[in-house]
Structure formats: C-alpha cells, structure tokens
Amino acid sequence: MKKAIFQRFILILSLALILSGSIFSVVISNILFDKTESDMLYSVRIADHGLNYNGDMKAQVDSLKKIEGNEATRFTIIDLSGKVIADSDVADSSTMQNHKNREEVKEAMNVGIGYAIRRSETLKESMLYVASLSTNKQYIIRMAVPFSGVGEYAWSLIPAILISIVVTLAISMILANRFARSVTKPLKEIAEEMLKLKEENPDFHFRDYQYEEMNVIAETTMQMSIAVKESMRRIDFERMIRQEFFSNASHELKTPLTSVRGYVELLENDMATDERMKKDFLSRIKKETDNMTNLINDILMISRLETKEAQVLLSEVRICPLVKEVCNSLQPLAKEYQVTLSMNCRPLSMTANIGQLRALFSNLITNAIKYNKPDGKVNVTVTSEGKEIVVVVEDTGVGIPEDSKQRVFERFYRVDKGRSKKVGGTGLGLSIVKHIVGFYNGSIELESKVMEGSKFTVRLPMKQTDPEKIS
C-alpha cells in the first residue's frame, strides 16, 4: 500500500509538472512572439521615417542592418509590383524573385502591415517577417529575424528546468514517503493491536492518530471485534447449554425407558406371581410412559419458545375464566394431595396466546399442589397494578431453600429430585414459565420459606407493544 501511494503521488506530480511546463511554454511563446513582432514593427516604422527613397537604397538597408547590430537581421525594400529594390543580405537585388506573392508582403499591401513565419531556404532556419507599407505608400519595408519561439531559449532554460524538476521530485519523494508512512503505519498498528483479540481479556490501546479517519477506523474495528468476540462467546455458551439440555433430556428419557423395560422383562419371565402384581407392574409402566409423554411435551414446548416461534396467535384473553378453568381441571389433583385450592380474581384481560397462558398458570398451580403438605392450601389471586396484570400463586408447601431460588428456573433443576420424580415432574415447568413471562415482557418473583410455603408473583403487561408479536 505504501508503495502504491508513493507511486501514485509521483505519477500525479510528474503529470502536473508536464502540464504546467506545457502551459508555461505556450504562454511564454505567445508573449515572446507578440513582443518580437511589436519590436520589429517599431524598427520598420523608424526605418521608414529615416529612409530616402530617392537615394541609394542598398547603402541605406546595409546601414539599417548595421544599426540593428544583429548579423542575422535582414532588411528588404520592395516596390508595389513586388520587385525587390534593395536587400541587406543580397548584393544585386535584380537577381531576386518577385516578392509580390510573399504572405507578409501581400498582407502589407492590403492592410498596411503583414506578418509571417517561414523557413528561409537561403538561411536554412525559421524566420519571422514583418512588413509595413511606407508612409508615401510606394514601398514595402520588410524586416526579418531568425525566430524559433521558445526553442530559441530552450538550451539556456534546460539546466534551470532540470534542476527544478530534480529538486521538486526529491522534495515530493520525501513528502510522498512521509505521507504514505503516515497512512500505513497507523493501519499496521491497528492490525497489530487487533491481534490481542486472541487473548482472553484483551486490553486495546490506540494512540491519537494524525488523521481523524484513522481514529474512527481504530474505534470501529475495536468495537466490531469485541462484538464479534462477544457473539462467538454467546454462540459457544448457547451451544454448551443446548448440549447440556440434550444430554439431560436423553438421560431423563432413558430412566423411564429402563424401568419400563425392567417391568416388561419381569412380566415376560412370569415374575408377576398373581394378578394384583401384574396390575401393579402395568400401572407402573403406564406411569412411566405418562412421565415420558409429559417430558416430551415440555421439551417440545421449550423448543417452540426457544426457536422464537413468535408468530403465535394472539387474542384478548380473559384471565379469570382461564384461571378458573385451570383450577377446575386441577381439582382432582388437589384432592389427591389433600390440598385446598382457592382463587380470588378480578375481571381482567390481556392480549396473549391462550395456550401459553394456560401452560403458565397450570405449571405454577400444579407445583403449588404437588410440593405441598397434606391439608395444605393453595391460593391464586389475579389483580392489576397500573397497566400490569399481577398473578400470585401462594402455597403452604415445603418451600424452596434460599440457594435454590434462582436455580429452580433452570432446565431440569429440582430441589428434591426424588420428590419431583414421584410427583411426575420433568424439571422443565418453571423454565417454561420463565420463557412465557419473558415472551410477554413480564417478570416473575419468588418468595419462599422452607417448610412454610412459597409465593410466585407474575406481572404481565396488558397490552403488547412489540408489533412482531401482534398477529
């Protein structure tokens, strides 16, 4: 890159030098031409005033040449027929060709003054001719000098031009090199600094660069790299969670399958000695398959919530009838666990998916019944606070120890694994609850005291503001 910047810089500079040189020489050449022309015209006019047209013309043009002081200057007197009367460079003008058709002579005859640049065959060089009609209008006085424009001065100019080109090139090479370095060095430093990304906790340091854009590049690159690293970390973390989930799920499925297989083998080998035992084995098999069905349903629910199958159908859900329906369906369970189920509900409604809300209430109330004590109580209240619906599920059950309060929302986490298994738990219920609450931008809070009871408070906004979720 440094080389490329350097090369382009020099190329542009050379082009600029050539262009300015050409413009300069054209302008100078024009000025020179105008100046020489007007000087010559002045000399011709002076000569016209001094000439005695009745005297010896040859002697007069010779002395004009002498006065001019330049060997190469030539004076010619021509009459109106084009005949050369006298020429400072030719001894016998009668031998000379008629000059009537010479461009400058023709022009002088027509308009009084004539110019021409022509190569003189006699002198073998380019000549500038200026011709003027005499004041008595009888003759044309012509003056000629060698003229090759700027070329005439080229030789004397060449050293100066060469020196200025060399000096300019040298200075610009140094400047180009410095400029190229000032651009590439920061980029190199930024790239080197970025290598720190490989470290666990990189500490980036950038100096203040001369060009603001470099500071922006440094800042943006750093932020981008950190963001990439962060998302890689998140992906790794999610992969680990997923792996853990699959291994837990497989393990959870393997346990009931093993016991089902065990009971089937017992039955196959006629180990069930009587009808009662056979029925017992079959009911255990049924219970295990129910557990597996629950587990698979919960896994599917979690997976649907996780893959953000967000286009769930939303409608206005009336909370009271829904809670009542869930409580009614759980009455047999409450009876089985000798728990009294009561509810207190204010008529409220919210935009939601009825299936998700049913799963939310059902999980919380089922837990409150199953992790309870005989003659225990479960109370469900639905109230509102501002624009939120507040659902409280309170029980007088076994409670949750302080150090498990956060963890109960993790997948497959159970405080008492044996008890959970016995009551047909999957360890996924509260994780599902947390997902659903999160889906509606709500919150969940847990207060609990071991052997006294637990209280889950769920807050849900009545209106969903996220347009993606409204269908």
Instruction: Identify the CA nearest to 290 among candidates 256, 247, 337.
Output: 256
Binding window for ligand ADP (CB under 6 A); candidates: 245-253, 281-289, 423-431, 462-470: 423-431
Distance from C-alpha of 341 to C-alpha of 141, rounded to nearest angstrom = 135
| Alpha-carbon separation of residue 416 from 54, 255, 256, 357, 380 (angstroms) | 144, 17, 18, 27, 24
Q: Residues 244, 247, 253, 257: what is their CA dihedral angle, to the nearest 10 degrees?
A: -160
- The binder of ligand ADP chosen from 61, 415, 437, 460 (CB under 6 A): 415
Distance from C-alpha of 408 to C-alpha of 431, rounded to nearest angstrom = 8
Contacted by 325, from ligand ADP, Mg ion, none: CB < 5 to 8 Å by type: none
Name, in order, each residue with C-beta under 8 angstroms of 121's C-beta and a sequence gap of 6 or more. Answer: none
Q: How far is the CB of 201 from Mg ion (least distance, A)?
A: 39
Instruction: Identify the CA nearest to 341 among candidates 316, 365, 313.
Output: 365
* Nearest CB to ligand ADP, comparing residues 326 and 400: 400
* Nearest CB to ligand ADP, comparing residues 239 and 422: 422
* Nearest CB to ligand ADP, comparing residues 384 and 443: 443
Which neighbouring-strand residues pair with 78?
84, 140
Q: Could you tell me how many residues of this chain bind ligand ADP (CB under 6 A)?
A: 23
- The binder of ligand ADP chosen from 84, 140, 341, 368 (CB under 6 A): 368
- 230-237: Cβ within 8 A, 24+ apart: none
Contacted by 427, from ligand ADP, Mg ion, none: CB < 5 to 8 Å by type: ligand ADP
Identify whether the C-beta of residue 32 lies closer than 8 Å to the C-beta of residue 149: yes
Contacted by 74, from ligand ADP, Mg ion, none: CB < 5 to 8 Å by type: none
Distance from C-alpha of 98 to C-alpha of 83, rounded to nearest angstrom = 5
Binding mask 145-184 for ligand ADP (x = CB under 6 A): ----------------------------------------
408 forms part of the interface with ligand ADP (CB under 6 A): yes
Distance from C-alpha of 17 to C-alpha of 168, rounded to nearest angstrom = 9
Which neighbouring-strand residues pair with 460?
389
- The binder of ligand ADP chosen from 389, 427, 437, 442 (CB under 6 A): 427
Give the side-chain half-sphere CA count within 13 A for 118.
14
Contacted by 107, from ligand ADP, Mg ion, none: CB < 5 to 8 Å by type: none
305 forms part of the interface with ligand ADP (CB under 6 A): no
Buried b (16+ CB within 10 A) or exposed e, 380-417: bbbebeeebbbbbbbbbbbbbeeebeeebbbbbbbbee
Contacts with Mg ion in 390-429 (CB under 5 A)? 425, 429
Distance from C-alpha of 413 to C-alpha of 406, rounded to nearest angstrom = 10
The token pair at 271 is 């180990």
- The binder of ligand ADP chosen from 114, 149, 376, 425 (CB under 6 A): 425
Burial class (CB in 10 A: 0-12, 13-18, 19+), 356: buried
367 forms part of the interface with Mg ion (CB under 5 A): yes
Binding mask 344-363 for ligand ADP (x = CB under 6 A): -------------------x
Name, in order, each residue with C-beta under 8 angstroms of 147's C-beta and a sequence gap of 6 or more. Answer: 33, 36, 117, 126, 127, 128
Distance from C-alpha of 365 to C-alpha of 341, rounded to nearest angstrom = 9
* Nearest CB to ligand ADP, comparing residues 186 and 397: 397
Binding mask 38-77 for Mg ion (x = CB under 5 A): ----------------------------------------
Distance from C-alpha of 383 to C-alpha of 135, rounded to nearest angstrom = 123
Q: How far is the CB of 364 from Mg ion (least distance, A)?
A: 8
Identify whether the C-beta of residue 113 lies closer than 8 Å to the C-beta of residue 107: yes
Binding window for ligand ADP (CB under 6 A); candidates: 304-312, 328-336, 420-428, 461-469: 420-428
Distance from C-alpha of 420 to C-alpha of 295, rounded to nearest angstrom = 12
Contacted by 426, from Mg ion, ligand ADP, none: CB < 5 to 8 Å by type: ligand ADP
- The binder of ligand ADP chosen from 149, 256, 397, 442 (CB under 6 A): 397
* Nearest CB to ligand ADP, comparing residues 88 and 363: 363
The pairing of strands 84-87 and 74-79 is antiparallel
Contacted by 397, from ligand ADP, Mg ion, none: CB < 5 to 8 Å by type: ligand ADP
- The binder of ligand ADP chosen from 326, 353, 426, 437 (CB under 6 A): 426
Q: How far is the CB of 373 from Mg ion (least distance, A)?
A: 17
Contacted by 362, from Mg ion, ligand ADP, none: CB < 5 to 8 Å by type: none
Contacted by 400, from ligand ADP, Mg ion, none: CB < 5 to 8 Å by type: ligand ADP
The residues of the shown chain that bind Mg ion, judged by CB under 5 A, are: 367, 425, 429
Residues forming the site for ligand ADP (CB under 6 A): 363, 367-368, 371, 395, 397-400, 408, 413-416, 420, 425-431, 454
